[in-house]
Amino acid sequence: MNKTLLIIQREYFSRVKKKSFLLMTFLVPLLFIGMYALVIFIFIKGDDNVKKIQVLDQSGIFANKLSNKKNLDFQFINGSYENAKKEMLSSETDFLLFVPANFESSSNIEIVSEKKPGLNIVGDIEDQLETVLLDKRLIQAGIDTAVINQAKPQLNINARQITDEGEKDASVGASFVVGFVAAFLIYISLFIYGTQVMRGVIEEKTTRIIEVIVSSVKPFQLMLGKILGIGMVGLTQFLLWIILSAGLATLAGTLLINDDETQTKVEQMGKDRAAAAAPGAGNSDSEMFNNFSKAATTVDFPYILGTFLFYFLGGYLIYSALFAAVGSAVDNETETQQFMLPITLPLIFTFIIGMNFIVNNPDSPLSFWLSMVPFTSPIAMMIRIPFGVPAWELALSMTLLIGGFLFTTWVAARIYRVGILMYGKKTSYKELAKWFMYKE
């Protein structure tokens, strides 16, 4: 056991000390935060490029009713269409919006420009025109628009879940996101760290140091030490990511929120949108923010994090043992392909099923069974957990996962102990079975 500890130490420190580990550890959260910051930045600053739009309204319906927005600047002009066009080309005006007098019957409103207008600009203008027109028509029909705005229903279904601790808010959207992210992380990390185990085994085999090592320790100790060491590298990386991301997010958050200007801008923008949006278009941005933060509080993060770590470890232990067996059976990485498929297939299968089926039917029989089978449960269960899983199901799944890990490790170790000492032979599945049957 003491020697296994030594091996764990070596496997762990030789990887953690690598520059690539540090790079990954700091770069990934920075990338995430950077992306997040960029989105916020764009959202706040918006499109600085203000488009000047001249409106030639021959119908007179829209005169001074179109409101300027952060990137749209309306100017109302008079005159003939031809003159306006010429003027637009010579001046700095970007667009010319032409509303003929008879547009209601012939629907021939035109927007003219040198460059193609962006889709959202056209959409924005259309929205505004429609709103103005709708109001006008409603008034013509003798309906008070103020009454209509008041009567407009603002519905939002609150999903509530009855649990042992009483009722609580159940946000389907948040469950979806959390499940997706957790399952995706497990999927990716099983591949990343499993392959690292496999590479490590192949390295020991090709450099032939394996013979020196197994004259000192049992092959099983070496395999276990390697798997546990690399697993700890994975955990360290996750932990650092969580801490760094949380730290950076808080930092970025305080910086942004403390900036009064920014805050007022965000609020202002929310109001703008709400005012500009066609009545009944749904949530305003601020409402969306509210809903999201509300949904986030419905997610039990310590519980999710705990189960995530358990399923990551369990899945990792199962798959890395198999990866180790594959590594022991080949002489170099290019030969691994024939053995990789049966290992990666259940992972890919569960991931695809999970993203398309389990998230929509977290309690269906298929979802249940996928979250029980040890080879698929790390991904399937992580998708289900945010939706709520009965305690007995979770306990059963975890027990099966531990059992599955013990079983695969036992199988892998039997192949591994023979494989690592076999050089220069192309291995077949038949051969693997034979190795498995060998006595000590």
Partner 1 sequence: MLSIRNIVKQYANHRALDDVSIEVEQGKIFGLLGPNGAGKTSLIRIINQITAPDSGEVWINGEKLNPSHIAQIGYLPEERGLYKKMEIGEQMLYLARLKGMGKDEAIRKIKFWFEKMDMQTWWNKKVEDLSKGMQQKVQFVATVVHEPKLIILDEPFSGFDPVNAEIITQEILELNKKGATIIFSTHRMESVEQLCDHIALIHKSKKILDGSVKEIKNSYRNNTFKIEYHANGSDFKQNSELFDVNSQLETEEGNQVRVTIKSGKTANDVLAWLIPQVHITQLTEVVPSINEIFIQKVTALN
In the bound state with partner 1, the residue whose beta carbon lies nearer, of 14 and 91, is 14
Q: Per CB under 8 A, does 434 bind partner 1? A: yes
How many residues of this chain interact with partner 1, rule: CB under 8 A? 23
In the bound state with partner 1, the residue whose beta carbon lies nearer, of 94 and 204, is 204
Written as one letter, the residue type at 343 is: I
Count of all residues that appear for the chain in the document = 440
For the bound state, the minimum distance from the C-beta of residue 25 to partner 1, rounded and expressed in Å, comes to 19
Bridge partners for 110 per DSSP: 98
Task: Find all residues with CB under 8 Å of 178, minimum gap 6, and list them.
Answer: 299, 304, 386
Written as one letter, the residue type at 3 is: K
For the bound state, the minimum distance from the C-beta of residue 206 to partner 1, rounded and expressed in Å, comes to 8
Mark the segment that binds partner 1 (CB under 8 A) among 170-178, 204-212, 255-263, 395-403. Answer: 204-212
H-type alpha helices, 259-390: 260-276, 285-298, 301-329, 337-353, 365-370, 377-384
Subset of residues 207 to 226 that bind partner 1, contact rule: CB under 8 A: 207-217
Residue of 10, 45, 271, 425 that binds partner 1 (CB under 8 A) = 10
SS3 95: strand
For the bound state, the minimum distance from the C-beta of residue 229 to partner 1, rounded and expressed in Å, comes to 12
Q: Per CB under 8 A, does 430 bind partner 1? A: no
Written as one letter, the residue type at 137 is: R
Task: Find all residues with CB under 8 Å of 432, minimum gap 6, and list them.
Answer: 325, 329, 415, 419
For the bound state, the minimum distance from the C-beta of residue 332 to partner 1, rounded and expressed in Å, comes to 14
In the bound state with partner 1, the residue whose beta carbon lies nearer, of 423 and 429, is 423
Q: Per CB under 8 A, does 363 bind partner 1? A: no
CB neighbours of residue 207 within 10 Å: 9
For the bound state, the minimum distance from the C-beta of residue 317 to partner 1, rounded and expressed in Å, comes to 23
For the bound state, the minimum distance from the C-beta of residue 195 to partner 1, rounded and expressed in Å, comes to 17
Q: Do 51 and 66 contact (CB within 8 A), yes or no?
A: no
Q: Per CB under 8 A, does 20 bind partner 1? A: no
In the bound state with partner 1, the residue whose beta carbon lies nearer, of 18 and 271, is 18
Token pair recorded at residue 317: 């232990």
Token pair recorded at residue 440: 């000590």
In the bound state with partner 1, the residue whose beta carbon lies nearer, of 14 and 80, is 14
For the bound state, the minimum distance from the C-beta of residue 18 to partner 1, rounded and expressed in Å, comes to 9
**Where in 61-184 does DSSP place strands (E)?**
72-77, 95-99, 110-113, 160-163, 166-169
Mark the segment that binds partner 1 (CB under 8 A) among 3-11, 48-56, 256-264, 382-390. Answer: 3-11
In the bound state with partner 1, the residue whose beta carbon lies nearer, of 2 and 334, is 2
For the bound state, the minimum distance from the C-beta of residue 221 to partner 1, rounded and expressed in Å, comes to 10
- Output the CA–CA distances (angstroms, integers) from residue 324 to 203, 205, 222, in the order listed: 11, 11, 11
For the bound state, the minimum distance from the C-beta of residue 323 to partner 1, rounded and expressed in Å, comes to 19
Q: Per CB under 8 A, does 3 bind partner 1? A: yes
Subset of residues 311 to 340 that bind partner 1, contact rule: CB under 8 A: none
Sign of CA dihedral 415, 417, 420, 422: negative
Mark the segment that binds partner 1 (CB under 8 A) among 98-106, 205-213, 373-381, 402-410. Answer: 205-213
Strand pairing of 160-163 and 166-169?
Answer: antiparallel
User: Per-residue string for binding with partner 1, 295-314, x by CB under 8 A?
Assistant: --------------------
Subset of residues 394 to 423 that bind partner 1, contact rule: CB under 8 A: 421, 423
For 163, how many CA atoms within 13 A lie in the half-sphere containing its CB?
Answer: 13
For the bound state, the minimum distance from the C-beta of residue 357 to partner 1, rounded and expressed in Å, comes to 44
Whose CA is closest to 173, among 283, 98, 99, 75?
Answer: 283
Phi, psi angles (nearest 5°) of residue 160: -120, 140
In the bound state with partner 1, the residue whose beta carbon lies nearer, of 160 and 434, is 434
The torsion region of residue 166 among left (phi > 0), alpha (psi -120 to 50) and beta comes to left
In the bound state with partner 1, the residue whose beta carbon lies nearer, of 21 and 357, is 21
How far apart are alpha carbons 387 and 363 in whole angstroms? 9
Note the residues at the interface with partner 1 (CB under 8 A): 3, 6-7, 10, 14, 203-204, 207-217, 421, 423, 434, 439-440
